[in-house]
Structure 1
Amino acid sequence: MKFKLDIKANAIDSFNEALSKYEQGQNGDLKAFKFSIAHLAHSIELVLKMYLQTLEENLVFSKCFKEVLKRSKADGTDLLSAYKALEGEEYDFGQLIHGHTSLHTVTVEQALSIVKCEVCGITGNNFVDQDFIDDINWMKDLRNAIEHFEFEFTAKEVRLCIGRLVRGLAEFTDIFSLFDLDREVGEDRVHIFKVLADEYEHALSEANISVSEQKHLLFAGVRPKHQMFIDWNVYTCPSCGNDTMIPNEDSSSGYRCTLEGCENEESEDIEVDCDICGASWPNGEMTSWEDTYTYVCPRCENPEAW
């Protein structure tokens, strides 16, 4: 029995596999990120070729791309303009590949070289963000290192890049009407996709991971009965409302929110020691005595009430 996937089905299948491996990486199997990178890079490569097919079905083949490149150099124009010039002349790309059985398709770089020429007629801006292209190239290089030699990455840089690529891919497939990415995600992977596709939710996920990682590093190797003596708290950030404020040596308050874009350092819940009795109280409940004490707790401020 034959098994066949067309280019769209192939791209979507690899995308879903990328999400599956991403989730495994999130659950602690860091090696799974290697396969998530490979699958996502493959999916993006196929999507770029789908875009080329919206221009000309045979443009995915190197022989046809080289003809466009040749015209571009001859006319001194960009690749998209060169293709449109050939299209206007009703150039037959099919005759370039007729009779050939082993045809090479374009590389990611070649596909991107045409994509970068797409400009919105109203604003004059490029349809595809340069950051998206940079992320594609970063992942492509990492995939090549994985497949052909040795590689190194941090889990965080992979998670962040995959999130940006997923959001960029969703926008790309929508702009060029290739398919609706969120409708193609497998039911068992929707929860992962929703986090990656939402920039804020992904940033919040990373902030929570940072909290967990910092706590793990601090408590690693410490016996449970001694952990109670470690001074480490997590506070709700008054700026973003998330439980993401943790100790930070570079912060003026000693704490900083781990949410990218927030990074607030102030909270009235952060405990400080009373200058008189040494007891810890939330700094918002402290008072100060002019020229004497900076932090005075409620008990020392009004001992009769206690």
Structure 2
Amino acid sequence: MNIRLTMLDNAQDSLSRAIELLAWREISADTSRLKQAILGVAHASELLLKERLSRTNQALIWEDVDKFPNIDARTVTVDKAISRLRKISGVPISIEDERLLRSLRNTRNAIEHFEWQTTKGEADLIIGSALSFCLAFALEHLGRDLAYEFKRDDTWQMLIGELTEFSRNHGVRIRKKMETNGLLVAECEFCENDTVPLTGGACELCGHWNNFDDDVPA
């Protein structure tokens, strides 16, 4: 049997495992869940950056482009990937997201190579922020809705309920995108994020239907 994962499929696989760990707390103890989730999201984030670079030119994935396609040669670091995405691919990555990705990389390195010590609140913050980045980046720059598969059962709702930092961060990203597209937004009656069109309808984050006509006095 031959086994093959494209970079995008590989990223999705790592992200899927991370989301399952975050949504379903009974899988394991918090320390193990958060550690494995951080590793999964860090792995996915780097692959997503490289996938977008490869769509410009596959050689850009290599630190030294002249060594493409030698698999023994080093591929780009997060810093180099961000720089090339901005300068060559024309992909805007905010300073805030750049800092997030560096912090995620440093956290992953600590877990893999050193001693890891943090608080649950700090772990929730970085994993929630990084997960939001991955989902938004894949949708906007790779045309892949990585969240779709989790909305077919209770996993997405569990994730929003269990990981407040993700709900808050992803809600902000969605709101900014809606406003950029010229939409006025309102607060969802269910998840309490500003992710519903002012005219009502489905929440862009949690999917619940909001009917604001009921709030208008007769």
Native 8 Å contact 1:44 1:169 kept in 2 = yes
Native 8 Å contact 1:163 1:202 kept in 2 = no
**Deviation per residue, 1:222-243 (Å, 9 max, x gap):** xxxxxxxxxxxxxxxxxx9x9x
Native 8 Å contact 1:118 1:128 kept in 2 = no
Counterpart of 1:97, as a letter, is: F
Residue in structure 2 matching 1:199, options 159, 168, 172? 168
Q: Following TM superposition, by how much is the alpha carbon of 1:143 offset from its aligned partner in structure 2, in angstroms?
A: 0.8
Paired residues for 1:112-261 under 5 Å? 112-117=82-87, 127-185=92-150, 187=152, 189-194=155-160, 198-199=167-168
Matched, 1:38 2:9: no
The structure with higher relative contact order (CA 8 Å, sep 6+) is 2
Q: Corresponding residue for 1:15? A: 15
Q: 1:46 to 1:101 in 2, by over 3 A?
A: closer
Q: 1:201 to 1:50 in 2, by over 3 A?
A: closer
Q: Following TM superposition, by how much is the alpha carbon of 1:50 offset from its aligned partner in structure 2, in angstroms?
A: 0.7
Q: Following TM superposition, by how much is the alpha carbon of 1:201 offset from its aligned partner in structure 2, in angstroms?
A: 8.7
Native 8 Å contact 1:11 1:42 kept in 2 = yes
Counterpart of 2:36, as a letter, is: F
Q: 1:193 to 1:59 in 2, by over 3 A?
A: farther
**Deviation per residue, 1:151-193 (Å, 9 max, x gap):** 1111111112222222222222233234122224474532245
More helix as a share of residues: 2
Matched, 1:104 2:69: no
Native 8 Å contact 2:15 2:44 kept in 1 = yes
Q: Secondary structure at the match of 2:4?
A: coil
Q: Following TM superposition, by how much is the alpha carbon of 1:142 offset from its aligned partner in structure 2, in angstroms?
A: 0.9
Q: Following TM superposition, by how much is the alpha carbon of 1:52 offset from its aligned partner in structure 2, in angstroms?
A: 0.5
Q: Following TM superposition, by how much is the alpha carbon of 1:55 offset from its aligned partner in structure 2, in angstroms?
A: 1.1
Q: Which moved more, 1:21-30 or 1:157-166?
A: 21-30
**Deviation per residue, 1:74-95 (Å, 9 max, x gap):** xxxxxxxxxxxxxxxxxxx6xx
**Deviation per residue, 1:84-121 (Å, 9 max, x gap):** xxxxxxxxx6xx436x452322122211222344798x
Q: 1:103 to 1:163 in 2, by over 3 A?
A: same
Q: Corresponding residue for 1:54? A: 55
**Deviation per residue, 1:260-288 (Å, 9 max, x gap):** xxxxxxxxxxxxxxxxxxxxxxxxxxxxx
Counterpart of 1:172, as a letter, is: F
Native 8 Å contact 2:56 2:89 kept in 1 = no
| 2: CA distance, partners of 1:165 / 1:184 | 19
Q: 1:178 to 1:193 in 2, by over 3 A?
A: farther
TM-score by length of 1: 0.48
Q: Following TM superposition, by how much is the alpha carbon of 1:194 offset from its aligned partner in structure 2, in angstroms?
A: 4.6
Q: 1:201 to 1:132 in 2, by over 3 A?
A: closer
Q: How many residues align?
A: 171
Native 8 Å contact 1:18 1:37 kept in 2 = yes
Counterpart of 1:114, as a letter, is: R
Q: Corresponding residue for 2:64? A: 63
Q: 1:130 to 1:184 in 2, by over 3 A?
A: farther
Q: Corresponding residue for 2:210? A: none
Q: Secondary structure at the match of 1:181?
A: coil
Counterpart of 1:140, as a letter, is: R
Identity rate, percent:
25
Which structure has the greater CA radius of gyration? 1
Q: Secondary structure at the match of 1:180?
A: coil
